[in-house]
Amino acid sequence: MPDSNARFTLDPAFTVGEVNPRLFGSFVEHLGRCVYTGIFEPDHPSADEAGLRTDVLELVRELGVTAVRYPGGNFVSGYRWEDSVGPAEERPRRLDLAWRSTETNRFGLSEFMAFLGKIGPQAEPMMAVNLGTRGVAEALELQEYANHPAGTALSDRRIAHGDKDPFGIRLWCLGNEMDGPWQTGHKTAEEYGRLAAETARAMRQIDPGLELVACGSSSQAMPTFATWEATVLQEAYDLVDHISLHAYYEEIDGDRDSFLASAVDMESFIENVVATCDHVGARLKSKKRIQLSFDEWNVWYMKRFEAENTANPLDWPEAPRLLEDNYSVTDAVVFGSLLIALLRHADRVTVACLAQLVNVIAPIMTEPGGPAWRQTTFFPFAQASRYGRGEVLDVRADSPTYRTAAYGEVPLLHATAVRDKDTGAVTVFAVNRSQSDPLPLRIALTGLDVTHVEEHSVLSDADPEARNTLAEPERVVPHAGEGAVLAGGVLDVTLEPLSWNVIRLAAGA
């Protein structure tokens, strides 16, 4: 009879790498209600003097986001940065081809930077430039406006607009999803690789210390996957620092078993991109190592959106309700597993952005003029951002498996662990993918000074479809797990069915 227990060993001598704080980034795109009536609603009772919703700001701080990508996304490929600066009442209205909406530009670059400032010092801009309908010249203009101190036409324009100090943006995306035929200004790998290299070279003439992200594949399923990365990096390898990955997951045709194993695809995607990057580096005889920016990831019911959009195409509205997925407990468990996948590859994934931050496939929802609340996915992200800082320990689990249609045999346990090198505390993040059975887990702790279980937090529910809504904003919240025992250097704990678990092991008395 096969063993029904899962087990692994933790040892500080065996590590993956240090977690980059940017792993807990997010994404604000001018799409649907992410900006307007999301983070920005001047007439809201909670709005501050800048029109930002303070109830949303409080939740964003609690969520713990770091790098925030802006302003897109598909939106950026039609973006005219100069429309978003200067007096708001003078900014032009534009058609947004990406989401068939009307963009008012009432919220722009200065407002975004002010928003980040109110989140806190951990919030860092990740600015995307338009390489779909624009190019090198416009990227340089935006860089000069944003970053040059003073004394030039564009830097002095920023000062005249009320921002005396430069924004100091260090992290830049060279376009968005340029491999996708849906992208305005879609290009071949050869075309984009050359343009990305030209743009990177020019931007570095102003500031050699920038960090630049080249567009990788929009998903591992793209027909050009891997060939795209290899071609782009052949042109731009020594000019960029990161290559991007995007991936979204959803339950398809009721196949929940495969949905729960979505992180199998995410980990494969990461490892295949690493292999491609390193192959190009070897071919170029370069000592440089390209890092990965997983700057769009989430659970997204894309097929549902595509069907609704085909049936009812938009007619250029302002801030329509788009992509407002309401997440279940099941979605949150998959979401937590995706976070685990990112942490397990912290040696190469040094930037990651949850897409998106508010209302649009988001952990935070709002109602215009009304409240803001946490979706089920809010909790895994907030816990990972708070406790997933430090050094990722190498977890190689022995786990019972189950069969999936999409990925074959898959472990029921998906786990990682992070050690705080200053305190010695260890946090284990674990998902039980079984829909029906608890999973006993034994962890051997070798060379670690942990002394007791500080907390075992569980996100699960008897109803896997339970979700938080405007009517019931706190229907789903984490609860305390029971029965975790740490004795003799061994932790024994049982994971509830279909659950996300955070087990905090403290060091010292």
- Positions annotated as catalytic residues are 177, 296
Smallest Cα–Cα separation from 293: which of 215, 231, 373, 235?
Answer: 215
Distances (CA, A) of 349 to 10, 44, 503: 21, 38, 23
Sign of the dihedral through C-alpha 29, 32, 35, 38: negative
What are the counts of helices (DSSP H) followed by strands (DSSP E) for the chain? 11, 25
Closest to 333 measured CA to CA, from 460, 441, 429: 460
Cα 27 to Cα 65, 239, 306, 427, distances in angstroms: 9, 24, 21, 26
E strands, 279-320, are 291-299
Question: For residue 329, what are its two tokens?
Answer: 């407990």
In three-state secondary structure terms, 419 is strand
The helix/strand/coil state of 443 is strand
| Position 220, amino acid | Q
Tell me if the bond preceding 143 is cis, omega within 30° of 0: no
- The rounded Cα 446 to chain-centroid distance in angstroms is 32
Q: Which residues contact 456 (CB under 8 A, 6 or more apart)?
A: 480, 481, 482, 484, 493, 501, 502, 503, 504
Token pair for 414 = 């998906």
Q: Find all residues with CB under 8 Å of 478, minimum gap 6, and list them.
A: 379, 383, 457, 458, 459, 502
- Cα–Cα nearest to 109, from 137, 144, 74: 144
Closest CA relative to residue 175, chosen from 97, 281, 69: 69
